[in-house]
Structure 1
């Protein structure tokens, strides 16, 4: 998708840097061979490596798909400890070797907290340049609405059902008015979007790789090239306190993008039902953040940063 211009446009040449763990080196080289064999006009080079420094050198955009998934019998803290180790190494390499103003998208779950960990270990990367993927749920919501109303997904704008519209032959109509079923919107619609990943795993015995990859391309494309006029998208970004979400969390907000920058859409009315859902999500993210910060290596490193300054870690 990236090499065909879906992420950055049909006229933007790219050099792909692909990083994987050492046991996957042979498979990674196989992917490189396939990319070369595809003879893609926009692909100007491929770096396939197990060295995080080599992978991060000079990159303008970093899509972080690697993470440690929770396995049966593991506690949340065990998963967080694994991810702290992963994102500590990758954040340090990005900070020291990526291009200035590198844009970062964290895909691996728990994406919001992994992005927060990356931010802590890469303090010189602007906080506005570190985001996480919530576009997949945004796209899933658009898909469910389009199926419910039997309209093309391109005619549905803005995933929040209280503000979403559908373009019809007589103009834009509110989704809630067209669906005319508040019970469905407040129950089945939400649970379907929330549990879609699990449903796909059950159906195909693998995770939702295609839709996640497509959503990552959507996220970066809109961030770099801008959102369509009159539309906003969902991005996990560093909270500035908008909509009562405490600063210091990576949280999903409605945003518009222009000239490579995102801005949170302000002034949307929030009903009581949505407010409760938003607060529940924020509470979960606070708990995850607290858990991450209790991991010994993160606690020690943050103390070191606070007492000695960044220059002592990154000369």
Structure 2
């Protein structure tokens, strides 16, 4: 009798082990299942920023090291041969996450089924051109691209406009793609945000990863306002205010601001070309935080559709401090704005109001 009971206990143990082994194998197979590829569009992909960003996306810098991607690359007809060369290089690089590449000059084909659109292509200002001439060209481009995205992209497509004037290009795109939610259309001010982090890091001789919560307010232009009033640096496990550590309000209110505002021009002067590498990296940062979320206790700067926060006119695409969670951004609320900052916020908003008016005049 005792032997039978013992045998029954052994059977129970064996069945239990077998059950848990199957459960572990099932959970492991579920967790290790490859994710569905995300389709990412890059316009102007044969240009400098495009050439810099597509390998970053293919390597996982934008969506993470476990997210497969399909790249759609668009450029204008004169750049078709160069665009095909970029495709050849992507194939030759044998990126494990890259599940397909489409290189095309057809905007409809490029936008088909895209989940994320990085709008790098635009008409640059050339010597002798008036501001209205550049705006007119870009209004036409973004009107057409808005229509193509609305018709062909995934319903929940996330759009990042990089091409200048980025804020107003994003606004035009939003107006001509009404079915895309306004919260899904943003513009790049993360480059300016990262530049501000870099300047504080250099000034204090600290790791850039220890600096957080700078803010870029307003337009991606020379009127933008890099604000450190709420920024901190992690020192010995605690966060200390940047203003306290720098201990030089004169520098923070003058040279720091103008350096960030004019950094793009300084890089062009130094390398005779625009800041393609840092723009590409910042675009990846922007999308990654938007999709995967911002670290707890930190915010980033994004050009987003104003809801009236901080007294900024609704209907502008304006850079605010935001946090991101589950693919959604939210403007950080309740930050104190001093008199100096108020003037800066309003000045860059006024420029955006003027740009919006100019863009609308180009539509008539």
Same fold (TM over 0.5): yes
User: 2-side partners of 1:264 and 1:19: how far apart?
Assistant: 32
C-alpha distance 31-170 of structure 1, shift in aligned 2 (>3 A): closer
Aligned residues: 297
How far 1:68 moved relative to its partner? 0.9
Superposed, 1:192-231 pairs within 5 Å as 192-231=259-298
How far 1:71 moved relative to its partner? 1.5
> Which of residues 237, 245, 250 in structure 2 aligns to 1:183?
250
How far 1:70 moved relative to its partner? 1.3
Match of 1:147 in 2: 202
> Which of residues 146, 154, 159 in structure 2 aligns to 1:91?
146
> Which of residues 56, 66, 71 in structure 1 aligns to 2:121?
66
How far 1:171 moved relative to its partner? 1.2
User: 2-side partners of 1:236 and 1:119: how far apart?
Assistant: 13
Residue 16 of structure 1 aligns to a residue whose secondary structure is strand
How far 1:169 moved relative to its partner? 1.0
Structure 1 stretches lacking a partner, 5+ long: 300-315
Structure 2 stretches lacking a partner, 5+ long: 1-55, 215-226
User: 2-side partners of 1:78 and 1:223: how far apart?
Assistant: 33
User: 1-side partners of 2:204 and 2:306: how far apart?
Assistant: 33
Residue 99 of structure 2 aligns to a residue whose secondary structure is strand
Larger radius of gyration: 2
Q: Which runs of 4+ in 1 moved over 2 A?
A: none
User: 1-side partners of 2:213 and 2:274: how far apart?
Assistant: 25
Match of 2:161 in 1: 106
Q: Residue 44 in 1 paired to residue 99 in 2? A: yes
User: What is the TM-score of this pair, normalised by structure 1?
Assistant: 0.94
How far 1:224 moved relative to its partner? 0.1
How far 1:170 moved relative to its partner? 5.1
Residue 255 of structure 1 aligns to a residue whose secondary structure is strand
Match of 1:174 in 2: 241
Match of 1:161 in 2: 228
Match of 2:7 in 1: none
RMSD: 0.6
Match of 1:312 in 2: none
- Tell which deviates more after alignment, 281-290 or 69-78: 69-78
